[in-house]
Amino acid sequence: MSTVGRFARSDIKHSNALFSSFKAMVEANFYGNNVEIVKTLGDAYELAKSCPKTVVTDMPTSHTKELGLPDDAKILVSNDGKVVGRTAAARRIIGQPGIDKAYYEGILREAIYQSTQHHYYRADVYVGLDEEFMVKSHVMIPEGFENNLYAYMANFQVMTSEFDQMYQNSAKYQEDDIYLFADPYWSHPDFPHGLALFDPEHNVAAILGLRYFGELKKATLTMAWATAHRNGFIACHGGMKQYDLGDRKFTMAAFGLSGSGKSTITLAEHGDQYKVTVLHDDAFVISEKDGATTALEPAYFDKTQDYPLTNNAVNYFLTCQNVGVTLDEEGQKVIVTEDIRNGNGRTVKSRYVTPNRVDHLKEGIDAVFWIMKDDSLPPVTRIDDPVLAAVFGVTLATKRSTAENVVPGTDLESLVIEPFANPFRAYPLKEDYMDFRDLFASGRTSCYILNTGFFNGKKVTPQDTLGSIGKIVEGTAEFNDFGPMTAMSYLPLADHPVDFDDRLYVQRLRKRIEDRLVFIQEQKDINEGYNALPEEASLLIQHLILELESYLEE
């Protein structure tokens, strides 16, 4: 799939579907006299290396030739101020209820005008790594934030002859290129937390007053996912891997917020036990036509706290954000990977950290795993009803992550529901619900819930989770009935027994199910019902509650 970046002059007046006031404002800014085009990752590296905000470490990175970097390229560090995560409160999406288009047009016009006082850099990349799905993206970042430019070009696919040809061969769709304008210097009294403004139907966004690189990455994915959704793909914020068992293959997807264990599950090293290929640990799309999957990014944007300096993965770091730097025993500048300076220290790692990496899997998905941190659920639960499988995706329960910049006073330990672990949706929730329901209804894809938090007061370890997945992959997992709930079963683990004779446990389980029903019913009243779900979702959750209530009354 390729997008429309250029127009015949005779067609421009007929292209209203591809233009809006927001696109016209943002795209024009890309061609200003104050904008310098940066074409290669090597050029972006040199700019970032020379930025006053940069710490150039003495830690070399690998595969510099393949990446187009200088032979002596080092890991670069850039640190932000108070905010070191994504700010959900800043997001505004044109076309959604309650969003005053005219008001935001004025805000954006003034922001763009003020930006002309700064020198800017522009870069062009591809989002999507196979002919089946590719979108061209253009980003504009001001001088002083060269590290974000370098991280952006390192995270997505820079333009090379190989990918240029792939893009030319990809399917053509009447969709805009992505245009992403960023001005971290911007401020406005009405938006003390910044403003992330999206016009997803026209693939344009403005990230204003926000320094964190993750805002640029997720803004781009927001628009790429929306584009995919409009054109026959399921948008996925998750990890995807495939096991080769010799006589068959097993393809699985894992969905969870940052910190849930998604990357641990997707990127786990299996030694000689399994031959595994990895698609990606964060962003991909599924073709509704045949179930094939395509990664959207070549690199990985991961937490540094997961990697001590002795970990081999550190050799593949390109940039680091919001981490400490110290001197080692030889007086060399090295990063402090633990989250000591602040939470959510981050790195962009190159694709070469995963030797078994692929960009496209033609086989359909055998299993979807919803990753929860819900202490009412055993470590592994199987869902046998396609509607209920989609409902549990809608009501994916977890805890807030340090990757988020939340309102002061927010309880990071309380459970929250984040549908499909994707807070970056730019279209009604029911559309994702129906996509996943149909995926499960096909009969090809099974559904499981992984609780990676605590169960009955005991932590579920990565070994518990990975070992259980291994049994499912091998076909040796034997599931028990999940009490009275006929559409669910669980995988028994010796360290995490399930006791339905414990009334307090059953009551806790019922409360968690009721919380899900409340969430679903609230969608009818919030935001003018924009995210309301089909009635079947509420009815099935109500049936689960009745099963539990009948059991408690016995």
What is the DSSP annotation of 366-431?
Answer: SEEEEEE--TTS-SEEEE--HHHHHHHHHT-EEE--TTB-PPTT--TTSEEE-GGG-TT--S-HHH
Least-confidence region, from 189-193, 297-301, 398-402, 476-480: 398-402
> Please, which residues bridge with residue 275 across strands?
244
* Percentage of the chain exceeding pLDDT 90: 88
Average pLDDT of the segment spanning 23-30: 97
CA gap 49, 439 in Å, rounded: 46
* pLDDT attached to residue 412: 46
Q: Are 125 and 254 members of one domain?
A: no
Q: Are 152 and 240 members of one domain?
A: no
Q: Give just the sign of the alpha carbon dihedral 166, 168, 169, 172.
A: positive
Q: Are 168 and 218 members of one domain?
A: yes
Least-confidence region, from 201-210, 242-251, 399-408: 399-408
pLDDT per residue as tens digits for the range 524-535? 999 999 999 999
Tell me: pLDDT of 255 over 60. yes
Please say whether the beta carbons of 203 and 175 come within 8 A: yes
DSSP state of 177: P
Is 489 a member of any domain? yes
> Please, which residues bridge with residue 482 across strands?
485
Is 68 a member of any domain? no
Q: Are 417 and 494 members of one domain?
A: yes
DSSP H or E segment with residue 172: strand 172-176
Averaged pLDDT of the chain: 93
Please say whether the beta carbons of 498 and 490 come within 8 A: yes
Q: Are 257 and 172 members of one domain?
A: no
Is 176 a member of any domain? yes
CA gap 554, 548 in Å, rounded: 10
**Considering its fold, how many domains does the chain have in total?**
2
Tell me: pLDDT of 404 over 90. no
Amino acid letter, 204: V
- Tokens in use for 506? 């059953």
Please say which residue of 452, 474, 498 terminates a domain. Answer: 498
Q: Are 180 and 131 members of one domain?
A: yes
Is 347 a member of any domain? no
Domain of 411 in residue numbering reads as: 235-287+366-498
Tell me: pLDDT of 399 over 90. no
What CATH number is associated with residue 494? 3.90.228.20
Among residues 24, 187, 196, the alpha carbon closest in space to that of 115 is found at 187
Please say which residue of 216, 232, 248 terminates a domain. Answer: 232
CA gap 350, 298 in Å, rounded: 7
Q: Are 48 and 164 members of one domain?
A: yes
* pLDDT attached to residue 403: 53
Is 351 a member of any domain? no
Q: For the whole model, what pTM was predicted? A: 0.93
CA gap 184, 290 in Å, rounded: 41
* pLDDT attached to residue 366: 97
Among residues 139, 130, 382, 425, the alpha carbon closest in space to that of 280 is found at 130
* pLDDT attached to residue 173: 83
Is 530 a member of any domain? no
Q: Are 386 and 446 members of one domain?
A: yes
Tell me: pLDDT of 402 over 90. no
CB atoms within 10 A of CB 132: 19
What CATH number is associated with residue 215? 3.40.449.10
Average pLDDT of the segment spanning 467-473: 97
pLDDT per residue as tens digits for the range 410-438? 554 457 899 999 999 999 999 999 999 99
Is 141 a member of any domain? yes
Please say which residue of 498, 515, 537 terminates a domain. Answer: 498
Please say whether the beta carbons of 502 and 483 come within 8 A: no
Residue 251: pLDDT band with limits 50, 70, 90: very high
* pLDDT attached to residue 7: 60
Q: Are 282 and 427 members of one domain?
A: yes
Please say whether the beta carbons of 111 and 206 come within 8 A: yes
DSSP state of 279: E
Please say whether the beta carbons of 291 and 444 come within 8 A: yes
Residue 2: pLDDT band with limits 50, 70, 90: low
pLDDT per residue as tens digits for the range 166-190? 999 998 888 999 999 999 999 999 9
Tell me: pLDDT of 270 over 90. no
Amino acid letter, 461: T
Q: Which residue has the higher pLDDT, 44 or 261?
A: 44
pLDDT per residue as tens digits for the range 117-161? 999 999 999 999 999 999 999 999 999 999 999 999 999 999 999
Q: Are 224 and 163 members of one domain?
A: yes
Helix orientation angle between 41-50 and 146-155, rounded to the nearest 10 degrees: 150
Q: Are 262 and 153 members of one domain?
A: no
Average pLDDT of the segment spanning 442-459: 95
Average pLDDT of the segment spanning 262-283: 89
* pLDDT attached to residue 258: 73
Residue 10: pLDDT band with limits 50, 70, 90: low
CB atoms within 10 A of CB 248: 10
Least-confidence region, from 12-21, 195-204, 262-271: 12-21
Is 507 a member of any domain? no
Among residues 305, 369, 379, the alpha carbon closest in space to that of 342 is found at 305
Reduced to 3 states (helix: H, G, I; strand: E, B; else coil), residue 295 is strand
DSSP output for 438-467: HHHHTSS-EEEEEE-SEETTEEPPHHHHHH
Q: Are 217 and 262 members of one domain?
A: no
Average pLDDT of the segment spanning 256-265: 85
Residue 328: pLDDT band with limits 50, 70, 90: very high
- Tokens in use for 21? 């006031």
Residues 6+ apart with CB under 8 A from 471: 477, 491
